[in-house]
Amino acid sequence: GGDEFAVLMWNVSDAQAATKARDLEAAIAAVSVGDASISVGASAGIAPLAGHGSPAEISEVADKAMYARKKERRG
């Protein structure tokens, strides 16, 4: 199980958005709780808002991109 959320960014190129998505993944992986050893991971997919139509269509594109990234991270 997992939780899904969206981050909206303005004035960024696709390449900048991809870099920020990877930075977010790395920040989440670096989470620690005191001395406890925990494993936290995240997979981020990007979907440019321009040209994808409705919010539901944009969400679908982002969801597919997230699952593709998850598959890529798992090898």
Q: What DSSP string describes 1-62?
A: ---------SS--HHHHHHHHHHHHHHHHT--BTTB------------STTS-SHHHHHHHH
pLDDT of residue 38: 81
Q: Could you give the CA distance from residue 73 to residue 39 in angstroms, rounded to a whole number?
A: 15
Q: Which pTM value belongs to this model?
A: 0.79
Gap between the Cα atoms of 50 and 33, Å rounded: 39
Say whether pLDDT at 18 is over 60.
Answer: yes
> Residue 71 has which token pair?
């598959």
Condensed to tens digits (0 to 9), the pLDDT of residues 35-73 reads 877 888 899 999 988 776 888 898 888 999 999 999 998
